[in-house]
Amino acid sequence: MKKLAVLALTLLLIGPSTALLGVAALGGTSATAAVCTPGSLAVGPIPDSLTTTTRNGETVTLNRQQLTHAATIITVGGQTAGVGRDGVLIALMAALTESTLRMLANTSAYPESANYPNDGNGSDHDSLGLFQMRPASGWGTVAELMDSAYQARAFYGGESGPNYPSPRGLLDIPGWQQLDPGEAAQAVEVSAYPDRYQNYQPVAQAILDALTRPAPSGNGGGDETPVVPETTRIVFPLPEGTWVRTSPFGWRNDPITGERRFHAGSDFAAPDGTPIYAVADGVVVRANYTDAGGGIIVIEHTVGGQRVASMYVHMWQHGIHVADGDTVTAGQHIGDVGSSGHSTGPHLHLQIHPGGAGADPVDSDAWLTEHGAGGIAGGDAAPALCTAGGA
């Protein structure tokens, strides 16, 4: 098959410069995150309504407006490194419990809140919006908290969150991945009723299942081509401040064999275990590890109406966090830097193939620059742990 032939050929052409040996000493630890298959966080068509049940058996029917707010929470979570599907589930549980996924004004505390689009009026202290956040507690201004995307970003928190470092969002809670989802929601919301969030976990799961696109059946084998929606953005595949450019795209002397070879990708040296991010929304068509070739992830994207494939090479086996068929979002943590295969030290070898994985590669460094790839702060690099294993 043409794709596999191209991938096999490029394995012979990759490898960092010897400068990587010095960079490896900068620090960083091997990844200890669980290998996981996060599934899709790409939102599909929003239904007019969804009826489901809570943990205690109550029937809940959500309308299109409520599901639209849920879609915003899912989308923001998919674009926030370190959140993953588990983090989005927790956010949905919190918003369901606090407001039943309604953007609530609070005219008794803030009359001006009625001037913003809303789904009704609340009366809990000075709380506003989907997550019932309080301006007096530092969550944001009235204008900010009447914006569903802002509230979602604040709930997830982290160094890129608008509320960092206080009040704490989900990413600011140490070990949140190991907490019960309801306990994690309570850690952010600090509610007087801490046990109520678990009741909405089945509802949040039903929303995720209903709104997110199922993984495509194609896995990169044969001639199947997955359907890939247009990407929402382009990002750089490593956190800011963690990497150094080493070996560029083009002809070079192979650092291991000394032979003159064409280097089909761009090498970015980074400490072992540094998070690797998907450069764009897309579908994973290959994610595997072989003793001879090391770890490889290939993702198909649609960029400006054109099929584009990105290839990430040299992960250790435990450093691959996606599986064939997964749908990923730009900036999602898909793997960790390693030094497997034809390599002299830890680094990311990145290839970009306009036209798809079977097409010729281009200079990935230049391609990222041309497409205005946004950086990701190192503080957003925490991996999302999953409860289900994968390979």
Same domain, 234 and 263: yes
Tell me, yes or no, whether 390 lies in a domain.
no
Radius of gyration of the chain (CA): 22
Same domain, 63 and 197: yes
Contact 178, 385 (CB under 8 A): yes
Instruction: Provide the number of structural domains found in the chain.
Output: 2
Tell me, yes or no, whether 332 lies in a domain.
yes
Same domain, 176 and 269: no
Tell me, yes or no, whether 370 lies in a domain.
yes
Give the separation between CA 92 and CA 204, rounded to whole angstroms.
5
CA distances from 4 to 229, 315, 364 (A): 24, 18, 20
Per-residue pLDDT of the chain in tens (391 residues, 90 and over written 9): 444 444 444 443 344 433 333 232 222 222 222 223 333 467 777 888 999 999 999 999 999 999 989 988 998 898 888 898 899 999 999 999 999 999 999 999 999 999 999 999 998 889 999 999 999 999 999 999 999 889 999 999 999 899 999 999 999 999 999 999 999 999 999 988 888 999 999 999 999 988 885 544 444 434 455 667 788 789 999 998 999 999 899 999 888 888 998 999 999 999 999 999 999 988 899 999 988 679 999 999 988 888 999 999 999 999 999 998 888 888 889 999 999 998 989 999 999 999 988 899 999 999 999 998 877 654 443 333 332 222 2
Residue tagged 């409860």 (tokens): 387
Domain-terminating residue out of 211, 230, 247:
211
Same domain, 34 and 134: no
**Residue 357: which domain range?**
2-38+216-380
Say if strands 347-354 and 306-315 run parallel, antiparallel, or are unpaired: antiparallel
What separation, in Å, do the N-terminal and C-terminal C-alpha atoms of the chain show? 23
Same domain, 156 and 269: no
Tell me, yes or no, whether 81 lies in a domain.
yes
The per-residue pLDDT for 377 is 56
Same domain, 53 and 195: yes
Give the separation between CA 108 and CA 112, rounded to whole angstroms.
10
Tell me, yes or no, whether 240 lies in a domain.
yes
Same domain, 11 and 120: no
**Identity of the amino acid at 17:** S
Residue 387: CB atoms within 10 A of its CB come to 10
Domain-terminating residue out of 211, 227, 246:
211
Q: Is the dihedral of CA 126, 129, 135, 138 positive or negative?
A: positive
The per-residue pLDDT for 213 is 56
Which CATH number characterizes residue 351's domain?
A: 2.70.70.10
Tell me, yes or no, whether 164 lies in a domain.
yes
Same domain, 200 and 221: no
pTM assigned to the model: 0.51
Same domain, 141 and 264: no
Q: What is the DSSP string of 274-293?
A: -EEE-SBSEEEEEEEEETTT
Tell me, yes or no, whether 385 lies in a domain.
no
Same domain, 138 and 27: no
Tell me, yes or no, whether 161 lies in a domain.
yes
Residue 134: CB atoms within 10 A of its CB come to 19
